Structure 1
């Protein structure tokens, strides 16, 4: 501990970085950031922006960049992104922001993104499923997986799925997002020998149109697949990233 304190006194380590080393998390006005989650779980803590003020999101993201070299923010609106750009621009002029839909990956100049010898296929039934798929994709990209994105292949025109069968079979793991009755993940799981993670999306008409029909359909799938909660793109991406990392490590 003395070495750590001397490093802080010498200005070589910030108090936040020292707290992260000692406690595993950093406490600020906006809450506690779990800086050790990636070491413990294999997936970094994501900052869920919905329900937080832009200032709170910016503070947490700054702490994340300071202690882990990058911040992953989900469900961010334009005000959140503007605050991120302003705060990080002042604190970390060389920081880079990558935005994909409502998700943002911000990282400092010392961040080295890993690379995995594994491909995650991300599939959507329609355009409305795109934002959920974007959230999954940015998590997998951060983990270093290769992404093969296949959009708008819903089962209303089954030929669209069958035309992509070879690409689907080449992926090491598949994330499939679909609303309405949630049929697409079930159909794809019957065509491939790849792990399939189904993501029900809150879209459709009337009864069950809030994603519950899609969730129920996926839970009752006749073909073997895994299911995450409604609109849970981050969870699907995290699961796929862990699978991709395991596949990569199996080749070592």
Structure 2
């Protein structure tokens, strides 16, 4: 405790960093950020932008940047991204911000990205599935996994997915995003021996539209796979990252033995 107080007094540690050390979380005007979730859970807290004022998103992201060296933000609007970008520039010189569709990853200049000996294949049925798959991808890349992205291979033309079978089989875990009837994850799971995580996407219309038919089809899959909620790219990416961490640990243990 005394060391923390002395570090704050001399300016080598910010009050937010000290709060994170003591409580495990940091409180600002926008809410609480779980600064120790990576250590506790293996996956850092993501900041959901949907429904929040742009200033609140920026505040939480800069708090995350200050206390953990990185911030992962999902479901960003263009306005929220502009405010976030400006806040990051003001918060720390040299910090970088990358954007994937509606997701963003902020890193400080001193942040060292983890590196995992594991590959995640992220597969989409069509271009409409891209933003949801992007959300999964940013989580996996933030975790340090290698991502192999395979787009637009839906079952309307089976040759498209069969052409990519070797690539998908080389991955340690597979995430598949599909809307409409949601058949692609079942097809993929029947071709590979890696875990498959299916994301139903809210595309389609009429009866079973908005991802409902895709979700029902994936839950009824005749091949073994896991299913997350509709459009839950973050959750799928987090699950895939945990699998990738387990694969990495096994690989490193084998190398030592």
**Same fold, judged at TM 0.5 (above):** yes
* 1:178-197 correspondence to structure 2 within 5 Å: 178-197=178-197
- Number of the residue aligned with 2:99: 99
Deviation for aligned residue 1:241:
0.5
- Measure, in 2, the Cα distance between the counterparts of 1:167 and 1:209: 31
- Measure, in 1, the Cα distance between the counterparts of 2:226 and 2:246: 17
- Measure, in 2, the Cα distance between the counterparts of 1:132 and 1:211: 12
Deviation for aligned residue 1:66:
0.2
- Measure, in 2, the Cα distance between the counterparts of 1:32 and 1:144: 25
Number of aligned pairs? 252
Deviation for aligned residue 1:205:
1.6
- Structure 2 residue 89 is matched with structure 1 residue 81: no
SS at match of 1:72: strand
Q: Which runs of 5+ in 1 are unaligned?
A: none
Q: CA RMSD in A?
A: 0.6
- Structure 2 residue 94 is matched with structure 1 residue 113: no
- Measure, in 1, the Cα distance between the counterparts of 2:38 and 2:182: 31
Deviation for aligned residue 1:160:
0.6
- Measure, in 2, the Cα distance between the counterparts of 1:162 and 1:16: 51
- Measure, in 2, the Cα distance between the counterparts of 1:196 and 1:186: 9
- Measure, in 2, the Cα distance between the counterparts of 1:236 and 1:248: 18
Deviation for aligned residue 1:113:
0.4
SS at match of 1:251: helix
Deviation for aligned residue 1:88:
1.1
SS at match of 1:93: coil
CA offsets 1:51-80 (integer angstroms, 9 cap, x no match): 001100000000000000000000001111
- Measure, in 1, the Cα distance between the counterparts of 2:33 and 2:114: 22
CA offsets 1:119-176 (integer angstroms, 9 cap, x no match): 1000000000000000000000011111111000000101111111111111110000
Q: Which runs of 5+ in 2 are unaligned?
A: 253-257
Deviation for aligned residue 1:245:
0.8
Deviation for aligned residue 1:91:
1.4
* 1:143-158 correspondence to structure 2 within 5 Å: 143-158=143-158
Deviation for aligned residue 1:208:
1.1
SS at match of 2:215: helix
CA offsets 1:30-61 (integer angstroms, 9 cap, x no match): 00001011111000100000100110000000
- Structure 2 residue 254 is matched with structure 1 residue 234: no
